Structure 1
Amino acid sequence: MYLFIPGRHHILTDFQFKYLYRLVNTSLHAVKDVNGKTIGNNEPVEAIIFAVTSANHAGTKRNPIPFYLRAMMIQEFSKDLPVPCYVYGVDDVGVLENFASYTLKQVRHQSDQALRLAPENTLVVCSTPVMNMYEAIGYRILPAELQDRKTQKFHAPLPWDIVDLITANDTWESDDEIIDKLHISSYKIWKNYRLGQKVQTILNDPIIGDDGDITESRDYGSYVRQMDEIAEIKYKDTAAYIQPGKIGDIGCAVGSWLKQASEDTKLRESDFYGIEVARQLFDICNQRKHNGEFGNPNVFFAQKNAVTSLVFEDNSMNTIHTSSLTHEIESYGSRADLLSFIQNRYNELEMGGVWINRDVIGPEDGDAMIYMQLNQTDGRNEDFEKEFDSTADLCNYLNELSTFARFKRFTKDFRKQENDQIQYDIKTINGEEYIYLKLKDAAEYMLTKDYTDNWQSEMHERFCFWSISDWKQNLDEAGFRIEDSSNAYTNPWIAQNRFEGKVRLFALEDDILKELPHPPTNALIVARKVG
């Protein structure tokens, strides 16, 4: 008879060890299943099989610990059990109705057909609702910590309950309650690899979602294409300011900028470090490295969050690069998170090192009230509030709206969940309609309105919260000096293709509307650590 234990297995408990030890060393005949019925089987336990689910996930709130450490814990845990124990990793495959069958097939495949688990020869040990999937395909369940299925009463804390205890306790290593509940194998691995601090950082992070991303609505196919298409332009904009040595790219996406840098002969003696918090993008970076796509072998990737903590050692970096990242911190986190991010970058640079930050930018005097005139003849003006489940259908629908109608849809969707929507009035002057609003809110719409293929994600993001003067002030306060090469500019392609014939801005002076120039779209900020 086999015992099969599916789960994420971030921690193993003293209760689990004693429970399994009793099952192995005593007859299964009198043991009761989750429904209170005796097993009635005298066959001895031949082996224990651990299926570690979400084995391809690490650094996320649901799965903070990488598979190799979870496997090490299980092997250490199992050495005192008197039967063979096997560990198999099962990758996350999203929502799958027959995930239990899929997991069992993975065990059979990875064991080279040696372990053919079936209801006739296997008991599933599980105390969570995962049991329902296995019960539905004929397996009997041993309840472990679960005392009463109906009331969900437990004999002992579940492993994740102990993870929560550690997350809330900076001195968990000496906490008697935690030590009593943890199996010594987990205690050793968590302590030796400093997992407590790492897991605390991940689980307490206010920005990152459960599966390791800032936003759950991002279309990664579209996002990756955009990153690769503009990589060469980004690199050319920043290359002159890169200082050789240790070069970090925070929010490196799919590693496109690092790929360009690694092929630059001026940087051939440098080491390159890519930091990416989104699990999907981090996986792509590692795959590209395995494919040999980088021109320098000294390219390293890590899945970390640079907002809440340092990702490099103090005073260690010559150059740090970020692109299209700081506005996401402001959008999905808070102003305090952005200021913390700035200070972390200062701390990581050696004296004289540079932070190159390329991002969208807000206009100067952004709170000034202006008049915006939008094209009402380049699409449909009615029916702008329809909802769609399909991203592609929503994109097509939005593209059919006029610039004016799309603004109405924008004001309906933009920052709605954050309760941070823009305010405006419609005014008629000389028989023509104008939208009366803050300059920075007009710029917000102008910079966002054409991202229809990723609309739901973009509706969370603020682009124009700071002007370059605001950036200079906050960087000065952190100890940086902004280089003279730093500038805000209007991308000519964006102006020609997205502004001209679509949007005009005016200021009312002496009862006369005077047209304003297009707002800046981007900024390149070079900040040097000077003390």
Structure 2
Amino acid sequence: MYLLLPGRHHLLTRYQKEYLLHLVKKGLSEVLDVFGNPLQISKHPTAILFAVTSANHNNTRRNPLPLYQRAMMIQDFSRDLNIPSFVIPIDDIGLSPNFASYTIKKIEVETELNIKVSPENTIVLCSTPVADLYLQLGFQVLPVEKVPGSKEEFFAKLPWEELEEIVNQRKKLNKNRRSADYKTEPLLSEGMTFDSPEKMFQSLDLACVRLWKDYGLFEKVDMLFSDTLIGDDGDLTESRDYNTYVREMDQIAELKFQETKPFIKPGRIGDIGCAVGSWIKLVGKDPNFTESDFYGVEIARHLYQICEQRKENGEFTNPNVFFLRKNAVSGLVYPRLSMNTIHTSSLTHEIESYGDRSQLLAFLQNRYEELVYGGVWINRDVVGPEDKEREVFVWMEDQSSTNQGLGVDQFANFKEYLESLSTKERFFQFQRDFRKEEGYVLRTSAISVDGIGYHRMKLKDICEYISKKDYTDNWESEMHESFCFWSFEEWKETLKSIGFKISKHSKAYRNEWLVKNRYEGKVKLFTSDVMTPTQFSELLPMEFPVTHMLMLAEK
């Protein structure tokens, strides 16, 4: 009789060990199922199947440990159980009513059909609502930590609750140590046991404590849980359409390469926020960089997986290409004084947008630390205009609407609704949506000159709108993103204050394709020689300001 224990298994507890030992030693006849009824099964357990869910995820708050570390811990944990145990990886398929049946099939595949579980030969151990999925398949379920019956009562904390409690306790200890000006030491010291005064670990099995101590995992979750920039599953945003995003990254890779190629220094070359590895792929083909090593860093799980798949497919000419899933904001991703070139593209504005200014400044400092003397950080990104706070007058076309007064609910999706709006109508939607969760207020006033309507607003606000108005695929995600927080000169001054020297080849420029294809005929900008809060002189046409920058920051 198999015991099937599905779960993510990042922690293993003393209670779980005692529960399993009781089943192995005493049998299954008297133990109570989820309904409070004795199982009345005369057979003893013959093996334990640890179905490790989210096995393909790691380095996130929800899934901090990679599969191999979880497997090591489970095997160590199982030594005292005196029956065989099997670790079976179950990859994530999202929220699915078929997850239990998928797990059953996956067990058969992973064991090459040597283990076929069924309600007749397997008892499921589960204390979460996932148990209902197995009950629907006819399995009997033991509640483990949960008290049998319908009440939400538990004999012990669930492993995930234990982890969250440890994280909170360590936050308090670290805070107290800092406030007391103590030298920071690892909170789990050499030789610690459950008799230690460090009571926060007393509920964990010794196998768990050994692994977490040896691999520095308590410190790792400190970092993961303190990171406000990255979500629980390790992504900057949960609203991005990655299919669209990947296509866009591949399409502009050649432009990125040609623009940055003259400034790349051979040696150790890093691409932070490497997306799907397209820039590395092109640089690696260039004969000038045959002897270089490439290190791509990507935090978004979907994109990192694509990078690894491309490497496995042999798409990179240079064999010395390596991908890391790390967060470049919370710390260094490369050793100090190790990198000849670091490349980033369309990344720094995301740190400002989804994080805060302190995180952006930490990112800049980290890149400085990683470069060798003479190394260069190549940063391509959007940029704000120099006089971004001044007010301008904006004309927007209003004749292209096909909306006919329809609400968003009358369209198949939000994209279709947005594309039914004229430029002016879409601006009003932008005004409502732009960084509303961050508390931003975009202020405008309407005026009429010679019968023509204009809107008066800050130059940075209209630049934010025109740079995003056509991103109807990813509107929700784009509404979080700030492009114009710094001008080119503000960027240079900030980098100089850290210690960088700004190459004379650095530049801010206007994307003329955007001007021709997205701006002209849709929006016109005007200024005035005399501007007061209530008065202005004749409106004077002005050109669209810069949109992008190539910043070459040298150490």
Q: TM tier, shorter chain?
A: over 0.9
Verify the 8 A CA contact 2:36 2:148 in the aligned structure 1: no
Q: Which residue of 1 aligns with 2:82?
A: 82
Asked if structure 2 preserves the Cα contact closer than 8 Å seen for 1:382 and 1:405, the reply is: no
1:463 has 2:463 as partner: no
Q: Which secondary structure state, in structure 2, belongs to the residue aligned with residue 203 of structure 1?
A: helix
**Other-structure match for 2:164:** 164
Residue number in structure 2 paired with 1:92? 92
Runs ≥4 residues deviating over 6 A: none
Q: Which amino acid aligns with 1:192?
A: D
Counterpart in the other structure of 1:198: 220
Partners of 1:3 and 1:125 within 8 A in 2: yes
Partner Cα separation in structure 1 for residue 125 and residue 119 of structure 2: 13
Q: Does structure 1 conserve the Cα–Cα contact (< 8 Å) formed by 2:67 and 2:89?
A: yes
Task: Single out whichever of 28-37 and 515-524 deviates more from structure 2.
Answer: 28-37
Q: Which moved more, 1:55-64 or 1:380-389?
A: 380-389
SS at match of 1:38: coil
C-alpha RMSD over aligned residues: 1.7
Cross-structure match for 2:332 = 310
Q: Distance in 2 between matches of 1:198 and 1:272?
A: 25
Alignment equivalent of 1:173, drawn from 154, 174, 188: 188
1:209 matched to 2:224? The reply is no
Query: Secondary structure of 2:388's match?
Result: coil
Query: Which of 333-342 and 149-158 deviates more?
Result: 149-158
User: 1:336 is matched with which residue?
Assistant: 358
Counterpart-to-counterpart distance in 2, 1:437 and 1:389: 31
For residues 434 and 384 of structure 1, do their structure 2 counterparts lie closer, same or farther at Cα, with a shift above 3 Å needed?
Answer: farther
Which residue of 2 is the match for residue 107 of structure 1? 107
2:122 is matched by which residue type in structure 1?
A: T
Q: What whole-Å deviation, never above 9, does each CA across 1:430-455 have from its counterpart, x for those lacking one?
A: 21111110000011111111111221
Aligned to 2:53: 53
Structure 1 residues 436 and 136 mapped into 2: Cα distance closer, same or farther (>3 Å)? same
Deviations, residues 84-135 of structure 1 (Å, cap 9, x unaligned) = 1111111111221121111111112222222221222211111222212212
Query: Does residue 1:489 correspond to 2:509, yes or no?
Result: yes
Does structure 2 retain, via aligned residues, the 8 Å contact 1:318–1:349? yes
TM-score, normalising length: structure 2 = 0.92
Give the Å deviation of 1:239. Answer: 1.1
Q: Within the alignment, does 1:509 sit opposite 2:524 as a pair?
A: no
Following superposition, the deviation at residue 424 of structure 1 comes to: 0.9
Cα distance in 2, alignment partners of residues 243 and 517 from structure 1: 36
Change (3 A) 1:387 1:214: farther
CA contact (8 A) 2:32 2:148 kept: no
C-alpha separation in 2, matches of 1:149 and 1:317? 59
Is 2:524 aligned against 1:498? Answer: no
Report the Cα distance in structure 2 between the residues aligned to 1:149 and 1:193, rounded to whole angstroms.
39
- Matched residue, 1:400: 420
**Structure 2 equivalent of residue 354 of structure 1:** 376
- 1:148 Cα deviation from its structure 2 partner: 5.2
Which amino acid is 1:445 matched to?
Y
Secondary structure of 1:527 counterpart: strand
SS of residue matched to 1:152: coil
Of 332, 356, 370, the residue aligned with 2:392 is 370
Partner of 1:73: 73
Q: Distance in 2 between matches of 1:273 and 1:477?
A: 27
Give per-residue Cα distances to partners, 1:164-219, cap 9 Å, x unaligned.
Answer: 23423164424632432222222222122222222222222111122221111111
Matches within 5 A, 1:220-299: 220-299=242-321
Tell me the distance in 2 between the aligned counterparts of 1:187 and 1:266.
49
Partners of 2:113 and 2:339 in 1: CA distance: 50
**Identical amino acids, percent of aligned pairs:** 50
Following TM superposition, by how much is the alpha carbon of 1:383 offset from its aligned partner in structure 2, in angstroms?
A: 3.3
Displacement after TM superposition at 1:376 (Å): 1.7
Contact 1:384 1:405 in 2 (8 A): no
For the pair 1:432 / 2:458, whether they are aligned, the reply is: no
Question: Counterparts of 1:415 and 1:18 in 2: how far apart (Å)?
Answer: 51
- In the other structure, the counterpart of 2:534 is none
The answer on whether the counterparts of 1:384 and 1:409 sit within 8 Å (CA) in structure 2 is: no
Partner of 2:62: 62
Q: Could you list the per-position Cα deviations for residues 451-488 of structure 1 after superposition, in whole angstroms to 9, with x for gaps in the alignment?
A: 11221211111111110011012111211121111111
SS in structure 2 of the partner of residue 49 of structure 1: strand
Match of 1:127, as an amino acid? S
Say whether residues 1:32 and 2:58 are aligned partners: no
- Cα contact 1:247–1:320 (8 A) shared by 2: yes
The amino acid of 1:93's aligned partner reads I
